[in-house]
């Protein structure tokens, strides 16, 4: 089975609840219908004014039966959600009055539904920027206990089966943190290891990459990766990892033997950690275009509950797939 079919089968078996904050966005409304029809979610909630959503549904020929609609301004939970938002943000100067206004923003409302267990997962970004989706998630859902950093990964699939887990690897972070600190890099590695378990069904073997292998070059960017590896060692995170490694030293056993003899990841790497967003974003696109791999993502990781961002160019199918992947991560 391929990655998308596997994630859909998993989502279907889990029967989780999805909130789609962009409830008046036509592709999102169409996706909601498919998600219910294919039973990928047990419930789907669209956020927005009822009449606006009905108008879009009518234009798109979508039957809204079995799809929930919540209008934050008029919802019975407004005071409860506003108060919780105030509690979460008062250390940043949030007032009760402002919280009541801010929480009606659909991204924040959707994140609050997930935070308060009124939904299991949220998907947005068909009309909002990545930054706005991330900020709503960070302010309300927050990160997994023990991690301070939210980041992202791609599943790179259909490579030669000798690479990674039968031709599939996790690449991280390729979409969120432009210039991670050593602490953030260590968090990215931990989150990516978890993504490897959930998406590839494999025990993670993680390489923290650099343009240097085991001190072959000296530079602040190398020191950063070395420090991240040291932090991970201190945490004993429960997966095999090594660094700093050049990409060939990470992937090709004969090169590992020359540059990093005795490395515990030799010949087994299935999770690649890039030292910054530039190398991660360029790296996944090179492998996708030149290596003819399939790239699925970006999927957000490190959040306490599952949320996903969409490309604003996402198709209806993309939204359905991202929703299935996100729902498959719900607990
Ligand atoms: N993990 C955890 N917390 C974070 C993170 C993170 N990655 N980034 C910021 N925060 C926290 C901040 O500490 C802050 O906390 P506070 O409000 O409690 O003080 C809060 O989140 C908001 O921080 P801001 O300063 O408003 O946000 P910032 O300017 O740092 O931007 C953001 C963070 C939105 C994640 C930014 O890094 C971003 O836009 N990244 C996306 C990059 C991008 O455009 N990617 C898309 C192209 S790549 C592709 O799609 C394939």
Tell me which residue has its CA closest to atom 11 in ligand 1: 138
So what CATH class is 151-297? alpha beta
Q: How far apart are CA 13 and CA 169, in angstroms?
A: 24
Tell me which residue has its CA closest to atom 16 in ligand 1: 139
**pLDDT confidence of residue 1:** 56
Which of 176, 183, 289, 295 for a ligand 1 pocket mutation test, highest count of atoms within 8 Å of Cβ?
Answer: 176
Residue 234 has a CB neighbour count (10 Å cut-off) of 9
In order along its 331 residues, the chain shows pLDDT tens digits of 589 999 999 999 999 999 999 999 999 999 999 999 999 999 999 999 999 999 999 999 999 999 999 999 999 999 999 999 999 999 999 999 999 999 999 999 999 999 999 999 999 999 999 999 999 999 999 999 999 999 999 999 999 999 999 999 999 999 999 999 999 999 999 999 999 999 999 999 999 999 999 999 999 999 999 999 999 999 999 999 999 999 999 999 999 999 999 999 999 999 999 999 999 999 999 999 999 899 999 999 999 999 999 989 999 999 999 999 999 999 8
Question: Is the Cβ atom of 298 under 6 angstroms away from ligand 1?
Answer: yes
Q: How far apart are CA 83 and CA 85, in angstroms?
A: 5
Question: Is the Cβ atom of 256 under 6 angstroms away from ligand 1?
Answer: no
Q: How many CA atoms lie within 13 A of 94 on its CB side?
A: 19
Question: Is the Cβ atom of 176 under 6 angstroms away from ligand 1?
Answer: yes
DSSP assignment, residue 105?
S
CATH 3.90.1150.10 fits 3-142+304-328, yes or no: no
Ligand 1 centroid from CA 137, angstroms: 10
How many residues belong to the chain? 331
Residue of 68, 303, 3 lying closest to 11 (CA atoms): 3
Q: How far apart are CA 20 and CA 193, in angstroms?
A: 27
The number of the ligand 1 atom at minimal distance from the alpha carbon of 298 is 51
Ligand 1 centroid from CA 317, angstroms: 27
Give span(s): CATH 3.40.50.10750, the chain.
151-297
Ligand 1 centroid from CA 136, angstroms: 10
DSSP character string of 185-216: HHHHHHHHHHHIIIII-S--EEEEE-SSSTTS
Q: How far apart are CA 164 and CA 195, in angstroms?
A: 14
The number of the ligand 1 atom at minimal distance from the alpha carbon of 284 is 51
């Amino acid at each position: 089975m391929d990655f998308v079919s596997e994630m859909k089968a998993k989502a279907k078996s889990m029967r989780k609840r999805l909130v789609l904050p962009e409830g008046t966005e036509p592709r999102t409304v169409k996706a909601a219908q498919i998600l219910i029809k294919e039973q990928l979610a047990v419930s789907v909630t669209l956020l927005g004014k009822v009449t606006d959503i009905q108008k879009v549904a009518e234009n798109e020929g979508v039957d809204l039966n079995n799809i929930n609609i919540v209008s934050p301004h008029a919802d019975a939970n407004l005071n409860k959600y506003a108060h919780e938002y105030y509690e979460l943000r008062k250390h940043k100067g949030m007032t009760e009055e402002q919280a009541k206004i801010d929480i009606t923003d659909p991204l924040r409302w959707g994140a609050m539904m997930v935070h308060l267990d009124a939904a299991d997962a949220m998907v947005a970004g068909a009309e909002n920027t990545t930054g706005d989706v991330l900020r709503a998630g960070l302010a309300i859902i927050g990160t997994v206990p023990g991690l301070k950093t939210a980041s992202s990964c791609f599943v790179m699939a259909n490579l030669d089966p000798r690479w990674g887990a039968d031709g599939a690897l996790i690449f991280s972070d390729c979409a969120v943190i432009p210039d991670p600190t050593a602490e953030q890099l260590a968090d990215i590695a931990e989150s990516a290891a978890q993504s490897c378990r959930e998406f590839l069904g494999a025990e993670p073997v993680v390489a923290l990459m650099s343009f240097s292998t085991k001190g072959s070059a000296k530079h602040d960017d190398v020191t950063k990766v070395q420090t991240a590896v040291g932090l991970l060692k201190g945490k004993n995170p429960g997966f095999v990892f090594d660094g700093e490694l050049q990409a060939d030293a990470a992937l090709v056993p004969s090169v590992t033997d020359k540059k990093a003899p005795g490395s515990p990841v030799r010949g087994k790497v299935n999770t690649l950690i890039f030292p910054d967003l530039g190398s991660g974003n360029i790296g996944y696109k090179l492998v996708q275009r030149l290596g003819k791999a399939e790239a699925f993502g970006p999927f957000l990781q490190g959040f306490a509950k599952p949320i996903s961002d969409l490309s604003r160019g996402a198709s209806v199918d993309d939204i359905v797939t991202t929703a299935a992947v996100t729902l498959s991560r719900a607990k």
